[in-house]
Amino acid sequence: MHPYRTHTCGQLRATHAGVPARLSGWVHRKRDHGNLLFVDLRDHYGITQCVADTGSAVFGVLDDAKLETVLTLTGKVVKRSAETVNPNIPTGEVELRVEEAKVESAADALPLQVNSDMDYGEEVRLKYRFLDLRREKVHRNIMLRSEVIASIRRRMIEQGFTEFQTPILTASSPEGARDYLVPSRVHPGTFYALPQAPQMFKQLLMVSGFDRYFQIAPCFRDEDGRADRSPGEFYQLDFEMSYATQEDVFAAIEPVLAGVFEEFAGFNKDKPWTVTKPPFPRLPFEEAMLQYGIDKPDLRNPLVIADVTEIWRGTGFKIFAGAIEKGAVVRAIPAPGGAAQPRSWYDKLNEWAREQGQGGLGYIVFEAGAGKGPIAKFLDEARTAQLKAATGLKDGDAVFFVCNPKDQAAKFAGEARIRIGRELGLYETGCFKFCWIIDFPMYELNPDTGKIDFSHNPFSMPQGGLDALDANDPLTIKAFQYDIVCNGVELSSGAIRNHRPDIMYKAFAIAGYAKEQLEAQFSGLLNAFKFGAPPHGGSAPGIDRMVMLLANEPNLREVVAFPMNQQAQDLLMGAPAPVDEKRLRELHIRLALPAKKA
């Protein structure tokens, strides 16, 4: 007999009755009846009830074993009597009558209970992550992650992509987030950087003629954490295609994403969620900012914001009319069925708006063919009708107004849209709603310096190419730059790249970079583009965020095996940590720590 097991803890069925079996696993739970003892033995595959009574030589061993002790139990598989079958577990028709018991590894009293789905504090969970990972929910999430990644690999290869590895120790990139730096021992005073993404390498692979690249790529960014953003490191499905238009990129990745989401849409859910069918809706950035007030709209929320500036222009409501004369806009957020809400509901939203630093949240309620509410009287019948038409509302509905300079108005209307949608329970449930946000602006005005900056990736191809850069106001130029969004989560951003040095020099010149600067900072890529570069583009959906969505978890730590905390510390391994003076000397590093506060 195998020293540890003949079957797993999830394997035995009624058909095994009578056969000898050996199981190894953790003591999941014990039910001690004094003269009769049940031990639920658990491994990766399942749970099997094992039983011994006082007469048995093994009774003492089982009785002494604390929860999470690792045991090897040998005995006979016995069919349970009809009344004692447990229909809740797959092995519930049988039990193991224990004849031999060996303790492989005893467990101390536990800092967190493995056999419970109780919520624990992050500190305990992360410090004892190996115990947390034994618990059913996280264990299943990590398995889901593995299966999702396997599915992605299969689908990408089927689409004709080739998987590559790219360097982890590489050069610091001047744009973007802060880099993680690694000091060089051999070259005093110099540093490697961990890649924020394999951006340059995948473009170089295109220039090298590999045509279709992908990688489940680790990315490192020294930025602060959020629920949907791990501090330090995360993974992307990084891909890039040669001779591809924006539509080619969409057509290549949509079936992969839709396929993966459909494959796992039933995970942990009563009924599989529906998934947007390709082609996914395309929303120009301008339109998204107007209609949703955000560049990552959650389309499960059906509310659509409308611009009603003209309706309020020149009215007696001087707060709006006056602001409009100074260039402000008015955005309307519909609240279908809002007339049924009590006055206090409107007051509460108003109060929330003021907490957000806004003047308030004006509103009109449509009842009996007319507008009601504090500011309704400023709109005549014609304008009220226009308002109803613009927002698509009818009697029984309400509408809220945000009046501000354009960007602020869009942003706050977006926040109000989310809040109103939630409070009215309008969100569609049981679905993954995808969309592309396209036509991002190439440049934006830096409000602090008044200077023109790149608004996203400086290596994106401007729409219209060199002619557009030469002829147009930079702030009107769009880039072949796109994001993919699912349920309000930004899964990725991507672009058709700028593969032409002449366009690149011009694009950087507009953002105030001299030719020499560009050549100094990006010589590798620029040089490569001087020897025949295929037009190319791609994207990089976040793996962790995809798994988070599929697992229906509110934060990334639930789908990462060994996450860091918000302060970018690994509590299990104790990282980051000081190093010996000797090692610092080897690296030619002397610490200059900030003064301790008194």
Which residues of this chain interact with RNA, rule CB under 7 A? 29-36, 38, 40, 49, 51, 53-55, 66-67, 80, 83-86, 88-89, 92, 95, 109-113, 116, 118-124, 126, 173, 175-178, 196-197, 199, 221, 223-229, 454, 456-458, 493, 555, 557, 565-567, 569, 597
Q: Which is nearer to RNA, 33 or 394 (CB)?
A: 33
Q: Which lies closer to RNA via its Cβ, residue 125 or residue 155?
A: 125
Name which of 107 and 265 has its Cβ closer to RNA: 107
CB of 108 to RNA, least distance (A): 9
Q: Which is nearer to RNA, 375 or 489 (CB)?
A: 489
Q: Are strands 431-432 and 274-275 parallel, antiparallel or unpaired?
A: parallel
Tokens found for residue 595: 């003064």
Handedness of CA 109, 110, 111, 115 (dihedral sign): negative
Residues 6+ apart with CB under 8 A from 329: 307, 309, 403, 404, 405, 406, 409
The least CB distance from residue 442 to RNA, in Å, is: 11
Which of 74/199 has CB closer to RNA? 199
Distance CA 199, CA 192 (A): 16
Give me the least distance between CB of 60 and RNA, in Å please: 12
Yes or no: say if 48 and 34 are a contact pair by the CB < 8 Å rule: no
Q: Please confirm whether the linkage preceding 188 is cis (ω < 30° from 0).
A: no
- Tell the smallest beta-carbon distance from residue 13 to RNA (Å): 15
Three-state secondary structure along 372-386?
Answer: ECCCHHHCCHHHHHH
- Longest CA–CA separation in the chain, Å: 94
Nearer to RNA, 84 or 527 (CB): 84
Tell me the closest approach of the beta carbon of residue 200 to RNA, in angstroms: 8
Q: Is the distance from CB of 485 to CB of 297 less than 8 angstroms?
A: yes
Give yes or no for a cis peptide into 374 (omega within 30° of 0): no
* Nearest C-alpha neighbor of 24 from the set 43, 49, 2: 43
Q: How far is the CB of 51 from RNA (least distance, A)?
A: 5
Which is nearer to RNA, 471 or 577 (by Cβ)? 577
Q: Which is nearer to RNA, 44 or 66 (CB)?
A: 66
- Output 309 or 457, the one with its CB closest to RNA: 457
Among residues 96, 81, 119, which one has the least CA distance to residue 5? 96
Instruction: In angstroms, give the least distance from the CB of 177 to RNA.
Output: 4
Strand 282-284, strand 434-438: pairing: parallel
User: Residue 479 pairs with which residues in a beta bridge?
Assistant: 462
- Contact (Cβ atoms closer than 8 angstroms) between residue 188 and residue 195: no
Closest CA to 170 of 150, 190, 152: 190
The amino acid sitting at 322 is G
Name the minimum Å distance from CB 110 to RNA: 5
Nearest alpha carbon to residue 548 among 261, 270, 282: 261
Q: CA–CA separation, 129 vs 392, rounded Å?
A: 51
Which one, 131 or 332, has the nearer CB to RNA? 131
Q: Nearest approach, Cβ of 305 to RNA (angstroms)?
A: 19
Compute the least distance from the CB of residue 49 to RNA, in Å: 5
Q: How far apart are CA 424 and CA 408, in angstroms?
A: 24
Question: Which of 196/246 has CB closer to RNA?
Answer: 196
Strands (E), 194-255: 212-221, 232-242
Distance, CA of 75 to CA of 78 (rounded, Å): 9
Smallest distance, Å, CB 199 to RNA?
4
The three-class DSSP label of residue 587 is coil
Residue type, 41: L
Residue placing its CB nearer to RNA in the complex, 40 or 544:
40
Q: How far is the CB of 168 from RNA (least distance, A)?
A: 15
Token pair for 316: 């007696």
Residue 63 tokens, joined: 């009785």
Structure tokens at 27: 């003591």
